[in-house]
Structure formats: structure tokens, C-alpha cells
Structure 1
Amino acid sequence: MNNSRAVLLLLLVSGKALIDATVINVTEPTEWWQTATLYQIWPSSFKDSDGDGIGDLNGITSKLNHLVDMGVEVLWLSPIYPSPMVDSGYDISNFVDIYPTFGTLQDFDYLLATAKKLGLKVILDYVPNHTSDEHEWFIKSKAGIEPYTDYFVWNKGIVVNGTRKPPNNWLCAFNSGSAWEWVEEREAYYLHQFSVHQVDLNFLNPRVIQETKDIMTFWFDRGVDGFRIDSMPYPVEDPSLPDEPLSGLPGYSETDYYYLDHIYTKDRIENYHILQTWREHVDNYTATVNDGAIRIIFTEAYANISSVMKYYNFGSNVPFNFFFIKDKNGIESATVNTAIDVVNIINTWMENMPDGATANWVFGNHDNSRVATKYGSDRIDGINFLLYLLPGVAVTYNGDEIGMTDTYLTWEETQDPQACSTDETRYQPYSRDPERTPYQWDNTTSAGFSTNSITKLPVNQNYLTLNLATEKEVDVSHYKNVQAAIKLRSNEVIRHGTLDAQVIGESVVAFARELDGHEPVVVLINWDNITSTCSLEVFENIPDNMKVLISDINSGITVGDRYTKTRIELPAYAAVVLQGITDE
């Protein structure tokens, strides 16, 4: 990254660890997306407008003012395309239409127009790796109808002792065994890296690549501002189809995805070249229409830091930073037990970005446990201060702004194919349904999500007290803290200031944002369950006196309180945003 760094060594009080404290000059934002606040909506669970128990586009449109009131600038819609809904819309049967239960193209156009009037950008989830097995392309490919014959990855397999078997040992990501499925009509196996109903496209076929470009053009013509590209590590596999080696990771059975090391099916260099092709298409489209708009690409990849950083160099404006969610290899849940863990994640991302890149921060989404459940309700405000006050793009999953928690679902209620492919004794770690339940608007029927008491996924029973309406009514709440933090993002120090992230003592996450000619902003988060006392003298150029701008709802610290930089006492899990005072 193109930064000047003043590197200090901070010796922890314990004497057991050293951590580099690095002052980082943040990339100067010149385009709207570089400081944007994104809000991800899970369409089926956001707002139901017609009482069928399933969210829809008109429901989303009716609640766009919530995003504006919150301070959001970009709306990201998870899949809204026609789908058999085997995998919640990630099994797409038509890329250029709307799932009928969600509405129509006209409803989408109205949503888009309303969003634009409110000053909101709109980006769509795009899932180019595979189609539904009900997509017209696959139906024709099975039948051998040109030009679709080679739109997918087909193979005759091998014969062992008179029995036909898949061509190799590749496994699907949904822990259900082989990634190959036999089709009698075609007399061949097709590849599916996800559900058996999600058929991998053949990206060695130029026609397929052109189809993906045409889909982008269709939605750009309607006015979308960009795409979040799903499953970016997967489009291209090794065409020689070699067996993948064992991973050696403990705790996985022979049918579990991570039983193997996916060196031939994931994170291949060809995928970066595909992304580069899409980037060129997006830029060519923008140049052709010459409308002055900036169209963006976000990419999803659970991978190691070097693999993720490469996406910056091949056309991704924002490769999502999942290291507060997953471990360094993008496999297991991230270990964020200590203040050191938090600061290491921040500094590792900032120091590995290429020159001119923009940082981003993600703590929750539709595939992972909610922030309040993963980190604990006591840490919600602290997490949100990290999310919104670190430099770059902030990504919020709907409901996290009010501290929604995972919902318990029985085996019988579970719908997620990733969980349903296991069994009732071990489905819970694999299920993504708990974080996908309806948004909790108020304490009326179905939490105000629907007039129907029966919803696609059950409403969390805590909705009577945990809901947006309640958080708006009280003097202090998670939601009001989110509003305050997002408002602070327009501050010049937060937009342009340097970043210095450190651990103070053993348990306080601390970062300072500084800009010449402006009062510095310091965020402190006690990551421990006991009171911690800290000094801000570890930071250079911090004035002697500080005032509280925002504080977490349980700390007892009040906005406007004053502190000297030499002694600040933080109760267990307390989080506070401070600003320097030099004019007194």
C-alpha cells in the first residue's frame, strides 16, 4: 500500500507479546463508493407487502426511508431472480427477470427509481458460477441442443470393474459428497460445486463469458450501479480433472467439503482473468453510454489474504474483507477472542492492500452468524464503531443495526440445503437460516414484517423487545449509535485521516484517526469482561483533553463527558468514541 508509516513497538503490559503499531496514510477517496455505507437486504425476510409471509420488492421500496434515516448510501440486494429456491435464490433459472413472489421487472424499476430519488445507489447480487438445473441453458445442454452443449462442465466419467464412476474425487461445498451428478439423457456427469441443483457453467467456453457480459448489460441498462459477484473463487477448474489431495484438517468426514484441499477447483488464476474480463466490460459500457456514472464491482471470496488481495489488481473495487468472520484461510470461524486478534486483523488488511486500494469492513452477512450472536450482545456497539469509523467502505447486513440475534430453528423448520444435506444431529453448524429470519420492525404480528402470522422462516421470539420501533423510541439504543457513527463518517478526519490501530494494555482495542488541522478522533473498545484503565499517550499528537461523541448503551458513559488522555476508565465491554479538545 502507498503509505508513509511511522512504526512503533508497543510492549504489552503482560510482557508476552509485541505488536506493531503502524500509522497508516489512508488512500484519498475521490469516488463515491470509497467511503460508502452499504446495506445488504435479504429480500425474502426484509418486508412483506402482500401478506403471503415472504418479503418482496414492494416491501423493500416501502422501507427505503429506513435506509435514508440510518445514513446508508448504497442498497445491495441479495438474489431477486427467478429460481426454484433450492438455495434461497442462488440457484437462478433466469438471470434477466424477477422471482414472481418478489414482484415484477416493473416493481424493480419502481424500487430503483424510488431509491435514486432518495439518493441511494443500488447494486445487485450476481451469481455467474452456476445456474439452476431448471435454467433453459441446462435443459437444452442435457438434450444436446447447440449452442448449449458445452455451456456446462460435462464428463463421461470412468469405468472401474464394470461400474461407471465420476471422473475424480471432487466434492461439493454443501457436504453431500461428490461434485458430479449423472444425467442419463446426456449419458454424462455434470459438475456442481454447490447443490446438485446448481450446475457449474463452463467458463472455458467463450459463449458463456459473453452471456455473463450480456446479463450485466441488461441490468446496467435498467440503471443499477454495480454488482456484488458471488462465489468468485469457483468459475474455472483444472480442465484435466485431477484428484484433489486430502486437506488433513481434523473433524471432517469423507463427504465433507473440507476433507479435501481444493487446489484444482478454487482460487485459480483463471478466475482473476475472468474478473478482469468483467471489469473491462463494465468500463467499456460506462465509456459507451458516457453518462458520468461510476459502476462498481464487489467480489465475494472466502480465501487467504494473498488470494483476496489479488482481486484488487484484477478489477474488483471492493474484495470483501471477511477476516472478522472467517479465519486466515477462509474456512473456520474467525478467532477474535482478544484485543490483539482485533488489531491484527485490522493492520493485516491495511498493510496488505495494493497501492491506491480502498479498505472495507464486514462483520456479518446472510451466510454467517449474526454479529450479536457471534460476538455477544455486549459488544454490538463496539463492533459498529469499528465498522463505521475505520477507513473505507462499511457493509451492514439488515438487522445488525438493531442488534438482531440468530433465531433457533428445529431440524423440521430448517430449509438451508447446506444444513439439510447433513442430518438432525449435526445440522446446526451448517445452517444459515438462523441469520436469515424476518427483520424485526416492531412488536406487532410477525414483528411488523408481515400481516401474516406464518412466515417463510420463523420470527425470532425476542421481537417483542428487540425491534426497530423500540430502539427509535428510547434515548439510547444500538440503532441510534449506528446513526451517530454513520453521521460521523462525513467528518473530514474519518474520511481522510490517518489510521493508528493499537492494543492498550491487554484488552483495549484502540484506534486513532488524525488529520492535520482537525481534532483527532479516537475509538476505544474494552474487549474484556472486567474494567480496564488506559492512557492515550501511546498515540502521537493527541491533545490532553478529550470529549465523548458516542458511547455504547451499557457503559454508563455519557455523550459530552470529558476525560484527560492520561486516564480513561472503561467498564467491561465498554466502547466509546472520543474527540480531541484543543480550543479550551
Structure 2
Amino acid sequence: MHAESAVNSGRTARAVAVSVTVMASLGLIAGGVTWAVLSRLSPPELRPLDWWEHCVLYQIHVRSYKDSDGDGIGDLNGVAMRLDHLKDAGVKAVWLSPIFSSPQVDFGYDISDYLEIHYEYGTMADFDRLVAKAHSMGIKILLDFVPNHSSSEHQYFKDSVKRVGEYADYYVWADGFPDPSNASNRLPPSNWESLFGGSMWEWNNVRKQFYLHQFTTGQPEFNLRNPVVVKKLEGIMKFWLDQGVDGFRLDALPHLVEAPPDATGRYPDNPEVPVKAFTHFQTGTTMQLYTKDRIETYPVLYEWRDFLDQYNEEHGGDTRIFLSEGYANISMTMLYYGTESGRRGAHVPFNFDFITMITNTSAARDFAYVIDHWLTYMPFGMTANWVFGNHDNNRMASRFRDTMVDGLLALDMMLPGVAITYQGEEIGMRDGYVSWEDTVDVLACNRGTPDTYLEFSRDPPRTPFHWDDSPNAGFSSAPKTWLPVGLDYRELNLAKQKRDPISHFKVYQKLTTLRNEKTLSHGRLEVGGLSLNTLYLVRHLRGHDTLVLLFNVGKAPDTVRLERLPYLALPATVYTSSTHSMRREGYRIYSQELTLADGEMLVLRGPPVTCY
């Protein structure tokens, strides 16, 4: 009886074990099937984005945008008059070139009063109306703020020259050294060269000292080792935040702090190089080792970010942000985002890699490398941005080729993060011709000659916007504009492109509309070269359409195979294409082999990725 009971117990245990195993297996299969079904059908939960994290940001060079009063100079009322264009274009935020009082030696980057509007641009009342109108249209307004230096006409500098109170130490002053060959002369305390030519040190005969200026002699450097100065500039930003601005673009940050002097008052000489050049890293025959990209710069920015974060917390509303300008190597640029330990800097440190690292001879893999380069170094949780042109560099269409304009616009709009447009890029504006006689850029005037000035001039990308084919391109009714209008304005202008069935501007509108799709705001990115000259960019997000950019950056037709494209299933539909493409919106692509004309771009829409 006992033995029989034991046998029955063993059989029961085995049966239970088998049953449990079968049930567990079925559970795993059911769970796996459920997960597979859910992964195929359910879009992922998406993080809400702040307004700036995926916006189209548009740079307005106020002096060249629209003249409202017939003096040949763009102004704030002109900007307000043409906010409709920005709304039509799909722009969400604007940063204005400097609008503060200035003698205009460097066209606003030499500020004589940070709390007043420059008279040629309007009044504070005009500014208030512009901000209110822009906000009513859903457009943010950011100001170009210059914290590195002021104008020599600023009262701060005048008081510093006279050693008045705290202002005595607002700027960088140095005694220099006796000239052994001339007892009545003083020598500068270092060999530092100005970016705009000549010594970085200028003697002031009233104070009997040299003052530092990295740019023109009319732009003395603030002493940002002085915490009083840092706080004073913070107070200026607060003034404009209280006026309703949505943030600032901080100018020339790599130059904020220079190396300190030794105990004798001598500053370290920048190293000399054998070949004379003028780049973002070299001025003349010296490298900017002690005058640029100093590690002491970053704590100043982080302190200002602390101030801005506190302002946001105290005042509520939409986030106010910092944009930062800095031509620096990738490691130094990434520090503008902040530190690994949690300090925060700029929300958007400008990414100039498409200006400094890519040319019209670059291959597709060069483009892919530049994109991966930024995203690889960017700290976790930060937001990327992409810049193809600005007021300091030749226009995108001139640096590359006319046939590449739409492809470059598509690249800007389809990459993750902030898409930045310099005024005129949306219609493919090229550099305007400016003769030596009409040249006003101080850099070209100081560095250049009638034969070489165009190597240095920043005037060509600053010529007035082409609104239509009327005199002065609809920019101004004046007999003469501050810079001449581009010679091609009758064929290349906004009004014509709005009338034409196919144009750069209409491609731009399609692209800004496409940015509303979750695939572009939240999707993953794949980028590479299908060939030497054809770039591909794939954006994909489970449950949402897959979007693909194909862009032939070469000068000849290129045939590629599409089966190498990740996450794209054929047939695919053309969403938009280059103005010179034969494939128009709605065109269906079935074949794995595709030939692209030189410069041709296609944006394709494919079915969603169902699982990974």
C-alpha cells in the first residue's frame, strides 16, 4: 500500500510538472505574441517638447530686411510689416541682429547704450509693438546680445577712462612697457593681434594705459574676470526679458576671457606661425592661444544660465533661452552646453560645422561625418542644431551651388533639433555684389585692398532681402540703400517664387510643414552615403511614416540602389523634391535602382516601421 501510494504520488508530481511547463511555455508564447503585436501596432509614448527644441529659428539682419521709412536702412517697423512672411514660411522664432544704440562701426556689434534702440531702427515703442505682434502670431523674438565688448562711446568706457568708481575696472587695462628705443613711447604688454588688423592693444592718452580690443579699436573688451561686470550684464538682460523678449543670442563667447598677466604686468605672447592667415583660429601671424577659448570663459556663461533659469522659474510662461555663438573645436564647443556634473550653459550652442567643414566639393560621406560628428560629441539629453549660413559668411547658395539649395534646406529641416535659417536662404538668395567703393564692412576696409577686399568682406551676404522685382527689390523706396541690392533680384525674389508653381520657397514651406510630423520631432536617425555623392538620411518612428532624404551632392548624375536604405519599403512616394527634379510630389518609386540629377534631392514617404 505504501509503495503504491509512492508511485501514484510520483505520477502526480510529474503530471503537475508537465502541466506547469506547458502553461509556462504557453504563457511565454502568448506574452511574446502580445509584445510583438503591441510593438507592431502601438506607437511609442513620446516626451512633450519645449517650444525651442524642434523649432525653425530665423535670423533677421534688421538693417537689410525691410525699410519702412525710406532712408535705405531696414528697421523694426519693417520687420513688423513683414512678419506675415515668417508666418507663411513656418518660422517659430526670430533672432534679430543688434538693435541697440551704436555708432555702427561694426554695424551694431559696438554698443553705446544697451538699454536704448538705435535711432535708425526705431524706438522702444516700435520694439514693443513688434514683440506684441510677433507673439500674437505665435513667433518668438530673441535679441542679439554682445557681452564681450561695448563701444568706446559707451558711458561705461568713458567713465573707465576717467577711473570713475567701479567703472575703473570694467575693461581690460594694462600699463605696457617702456620702449628702449624711444623713451617717450610705451610698448603693448603682448604681441596679441586684433581680428580686424593691428595690435589688440590701443593706447589711451587720458588714462595713460593700453586697453584691450579683440575687434576694432572702437570695441573695448569688458573685464569679465570682474564679477561686478558679469552682474551688470546680467542686469541688462533682465531689462530686456522684462520687455518680453524670449531669449538671447550671445555673441563672440570664445573671446570673453583672455589669459591673465604675470606679476610684472606682462601678458603671454601668442605663438607665431610661419604662414600668414586669417581664420577663426589664426589672426595674421599668430595663433589665438591666449585670447580665445579660455576655460575661464565657461563659468561666466554658466552663471548667466543660472540667472536665466531663476528668471524662468520666478516669472513662469514659456521658457526663455540662450543661443551661443562660438567658432571653436568640438570639445570646447560642447562645453557651451554645460558640464557632465550638471552645470548648464546655452540651450543652443550654434553648430557651424556645415560652414567650416563642408564645401561644394565635399562627398556624401563628408556630410554624413559632419552630422555624426556633432551628435557623437553632444552631451546626453541636449538638443542639436544646424546652421548653413549667417551674416558673417558667404551665403549658402554661393558657397555651394544653385542646384544644391533645396537639398541643403531639406537637410536642415529633416535633421533632429533646431533648424536655423539665415534670411534669404528660403528663396535661395546668393551673395550680392558690393564694389570696393560701396564696401562698408570694417573687416574688409581694415584687412583688404581694392584687389583683395572680397576675401574679407561680410557685405555680400548682408545685401538687402529680395521681396519683389520692383526698384530696390521692394526693400526700400530710397534712391540709395545702405548696401546695393543684388543684381539678380528681378529673377530671384519672394513674390515671383510665391507665384511660380515650383520654387525654392514652396519647397521650404513643404519642409517646414513636414517638421510637424512626429517622425521628425521624435524619430530616430540613420545617415550615410549610398555612393560617393548620394547622401541618405532616414527618420523613423514606430507607428509613424518613415521619411527619407536622398541628396546627390555631386556635379553629375548618380545612380544608386535603394535596397541599401534602412527602414524604407517600396513603393515610396515623393513628398517634395528639388525645383529641377523631374519627379514631382506624389510620384511613386517602385524600382530599387534610381538615378538622381546633379544636386537633386528627393524627400520620400514610406510606410511606418512596425518593430525593431
TM-score, normalised relative to structure 1 = 0.92
Deviation at 1:497, TM superposition (A): 0.8
Letter in 2 for 1:194: F
Letter in 2 for 1:204: R
In the alignment, what sits opposite 2:403?
A: 378
Letter in 1 for 2:515: R
- Structure 2 unaligned regions, length at least 5: 1-43, 262-266, 339-343
Match of 1:407 among 432, 446, 455: 432
In the alignment, what sits opposite 2:229?
A: 208
User: How many residues are matched?
Assistant: 550
For the 8 Å contact 1:519–1:579, the answer to whether it is kept is yes
Deviations 1:516-548 (A, max 9, x none): 112211000011122112223223332121110
In the alignment, what sits opposite 1:513?
A: 539
In the alignment, what sits opposite 2:367?
A: 342
1:73-88 alignment, distance < 5 Å:
73-88=92-107
In the alignment, what sits opposite 2:63?
A: 44
Match of 1:166 among 188, 191, 205: 188
d(CA) in 2 for partners of 1:539, 1:517: 19
Deviations 1:385-438 (A, max 9, x none): 001111110110111110111011111111111100022222111100000011
d(CA) in 2 for partners of 1:336, 1:264: 34
SS of the aligned residue for 1:149 comes to helix
Match of 2:159 among 140, 144, 156: 140
In the alignment, what sits opposite 2:586?
A: 560
Match of 1:369 among 360, 369, 394: 394
Letter in 2 for 1:234: H
d(CA) in 2 for partners of 1:403, 1:73: 20
Deviation at 1:251, TM superposition (A): 4.5
In the alignment, what sits opposite 1:355?
A: 380
Deviation at 1:565, TM superposition (A): 5.8
Alignment pair present for 1:184 and 2:183: no
Deviation at 1:123, TM superposition (A): 0.5
For the 8 Å contact 2:530–2:536, the answer to whether it is kept is yes
d(CA) in 2 for partners of 1:136, 1:207: 16
Letter in 2 for 1:393: V
d(CA) in 1 for partners of 2:58, 2:390: 10
Deviation at 1:30, TM superposition (A): 2.2
In the TM superposition, structure 1's runs of 4+ consecutive aligned residues that sit over 6 Å from their partners are none
d(CA) in 2 for partners of 1:400, 1:324: 14
SS of the aligned residue for 1:520 comes to strand
| Residue 449 to residue 122, structure 1, CA distance change in 2 (3 Å) | same
Give the RMSD, CA atoms, in angstroms.
Answer: 1.8
- Structure 1 unaligned regions, length at least 5: 1-24, 328-332
Alignment pair present for 1:91 and 2:110: yes
d(CA) in 2 for partners of 1:494, 1:145: 55
Alignment pair present for 1:312 and 2:333: no
Deviation at 1:183, TM superposition (A): 0.5
Deviation at 1:335, TM superposition (A): 7.1
For the 8 Å contact 1:546–1:565, the answer to whether it is kept is no
Letter in 1 for 2:355: I
| Residue 251 to residue 311, structure 1, CA distance change in 2 (3 Å) | closer
Deviation at 1:259, TM superposition (A): 2.2
Letter in 1 for 2:97: S
Identity %: 43
Match of 1:534 among 537, 542, 560: 560
Higher relative contact order (CA 8 A, sep 6+): 1
| Residue 272 to residue 565, structure 1, CA distance change in 2 (3 Å) | farther
Deviation at 1:248, TM superposition (A): 4.8
d(CA) in 2 for partners of 1:251, 1:448: 39
Letter in 1 for 2:55: A
For the 8 Å contact 1:192–1:199, the answer to whether it is kept is yes
In the alignment, what sits opposite 1:325?
A: 355
In the alignment, what sits opposite 1:107?
A: 126
d(CA) in 2 for partners of 1:31, 1:272: 25
TM-score, normalised relative to structure 2 = 0.88
Letter in 1 for 2:89: M
Deviations 1:556-581 (A, max 9, x none): 11111111362222111111100114
In the alignment, what sits opposite 1:575?
A: 601
In the alignment, what sits opposite 2:145?
A: 126
Deviation at 1:239, TM superposition (A): 1.1
d(CA) in 2 for partners of 1:91, 1:183: 18
Letter in 2 for 1:34: E
In the alignment, what sits opposite 1:330?
A: none
Letter in 1 for 2:204: V
1:149-548 alignment, distance < 5 Å:
149-161=168-180, 162=183, 163-174=185-196, 176-240=197-261, 241-249=267-275, 251=277, 257-289=283-315, 291-313=316-338, 314-327=344-357, 337-422=362-447, 423-548=449-574
CA radius of gyration, larger in: 2
In the alignment, what sits opposite 2:36?
A: none
Letter in 2 for 1:146: G
